[in-house]
């Protein structure tokens, strides 16, 4: 076992037992302290540790350039797994309750530690490209039953490759950013002609995304056996969806305006090294996939996921609880498939899993499934019901891999709906 995973490891900074950010996690993000510029830090308990300050103090052997004095993680992502692991090990040692180098240096502590509630979190990366997959068997089956043939819900290609599409990056926002209800063209069932206006069927999608590190040259695929060295870490993703706009436009071109108005990501990137103790085998794939997609037998991760819904004026209620380990296609297969035609990957690219849904009621990752196209509204205290999102409603995604004595959490992925501007 890597020492950074030791459940007995304790930090000299007080960390609550139920914290998402114990010393075994050490996720990275971009933050702005009060009155200062952006820089890269690590979440530890309710504090943020400034890595740029530690670099200036000579704590990292990464060369002359301070890759942490940045407004994005891209430069650090580009360094690759050996550098990522070196920084993780060094930070773990500096925060170890038995180590005094940082603990007893009052000046450096003052310069490098900030209360998490006092800082502004920014997008983790400059996202050059964004791909959204469609990798949950249960979600794909539910969608097929609702909109195609209930007896044959999956399209013929679905079990042979990770289906996905390339989306926009300009509208990817960090957790806490309000989401404006989109306007667009749609065709209600009762209308003879399409109409323009605000979406009436606004939805969420509970997803897990990964950021890439070192890329590949154009024309050179990344073999599935090498994809692990190109994945920096994971975030939670809410790929907001205007189902009425999507329904009218998606044939024959696929997702477009119904998806591109907003995608929310959590600010802290949880590394694959932190999640290593929670790696498990994915579901069996039948029929057998083509050779370029084979490998990484333990390519799934046991991560509990939750959707909390705060209807306007009420308290948050958990409406869904599921797990990332049940996804049919793994992130390693997704990246191998993305590059099999030779497309090039760059540091900071974002890849989302697609909606994570389970097989039992209450494990679905979208309102479309939870309410079954609005026929089974969700109930909230005070006789409040919801079929889809209304203005003023807030959705909070949460996730954590849970060990015996600690949890590797992601923090929140939160967004509130604002009225349309049509």
What is the rounded CA–CA span in Å between residue 139 and residue 100? 50
Q: What is the DSSP letter of 103?
A: T
Tell me if residue 139 is catalytic.
yes
Q: How many other CB atoms sit within 10 Å of the CB of residue 347? A: 23
List of residues 6+ apart from 203 with CB closer than 8 A: 240, 241, 242, 243, 366, 367, 368, 388, 389
Residues 139, 160, 298, 337: which is the catalytic one? 139
Read off φ and ψ for residue 370, nearest 5 degrees.
-60, -35
Distances (CA, A) of 205 to 35, 164, 265, 294: 35, 15, 12, 28
Rounded CA separation 311/317 (Å):
9
d(CA 28, CA 15): 17
Distances (CA, A) of 138 to 195, 278, 288, 361: 32, 22, 19, 11
Query: Could you count the other beta carbons within 10 Å of the beta carbon of residue 136?
Result: 27
Asked if residue 205 lies in contact with residue 240, where contact means CB atoms within 8 angstroms, the answer is yes
Residues annotated as part of the active site: 139
């Amino acid at each position: 076992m890597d020492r950074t995973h030791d459940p007995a490891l304790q930090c000299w900074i007080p960390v609550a037992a139920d914290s998402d950010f114990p010393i075994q996690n050490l996720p990275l993000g971009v933050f702005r302290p009060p009155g200062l510029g952006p820089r890269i830090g690590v979440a530890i308990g309710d504090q943020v540790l400034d890595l740029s300050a530690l670099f200036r103090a000579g704590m990292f052997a990464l060369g002359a350039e301070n890759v942490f004095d940045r407004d994005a993680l891209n430069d650090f992502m580009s360094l690759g797994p050996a550098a990522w692991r070196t920084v993780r090990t060094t930070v773990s040692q500096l925060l170890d309750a038995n180590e005094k180098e940082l603990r007893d240096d009052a000046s450096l502590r003052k310069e490098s530690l900030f209360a998490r509630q006092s800082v502004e979190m920014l997008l983790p990366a400059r996202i050059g490209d964004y791909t959204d997959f469609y990798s949950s068997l249960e979600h794909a089956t539910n969608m097929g039953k609702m909109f195609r043939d209930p007896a044959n819900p999956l399209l013929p290609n679905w079990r042979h490759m990770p289906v996905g599409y390339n989306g926009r990056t300009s509208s990817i926002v960090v957790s806490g950013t309000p989401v404006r209800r989109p306007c667009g063209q749609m065709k209600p069932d009762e209308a003879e002609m399409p109409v323009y206006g605000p979406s009436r069927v606004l939805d969420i999608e509970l997803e897990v995304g990964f950021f890439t590190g070192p890329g590949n040259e154009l024309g050179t695929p990344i073999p599935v056996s090498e994809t692990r060295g190109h994945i920096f870490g994971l975030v939670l993703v809410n790929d907001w969806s205007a189902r009425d706009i999507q329904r009218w436009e998606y044939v024959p071109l696929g997702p477009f305006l119904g998806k591109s108005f907003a995608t929310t990501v959590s600010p802290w990137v949880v590394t694959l090294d932190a999640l290593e103790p929670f790696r498990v085998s994915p579901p069996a794939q039948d029929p057998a996939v083509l050779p370029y997609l084979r490998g990484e037998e333990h390519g799934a991760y046991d991560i509990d996921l939750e959707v909390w819904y705060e209807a306007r004026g009420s308290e948050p209620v958990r409406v869904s609880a599921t797990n990332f380990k049940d996804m049919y296609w793994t992130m390693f297969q997704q990246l191998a498939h993305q590059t099999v035609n030779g497309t090039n990957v760059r540091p900071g690219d974002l890849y989302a899993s697609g909606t994570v849904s389970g097989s039992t009621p209450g494990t679905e990752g979208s309102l479309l499934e939870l309410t079954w196209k609005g026929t089974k509204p969700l109930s909230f205290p005070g006789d409040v019901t919801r079929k889809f999102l209304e203005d003023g409603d807030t959705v909070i995604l949460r996730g954590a891999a849970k060990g015996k004595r600690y949890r590797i959490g992601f923090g929140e992925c939160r967004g509130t709906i604002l009225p349309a501007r049509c």
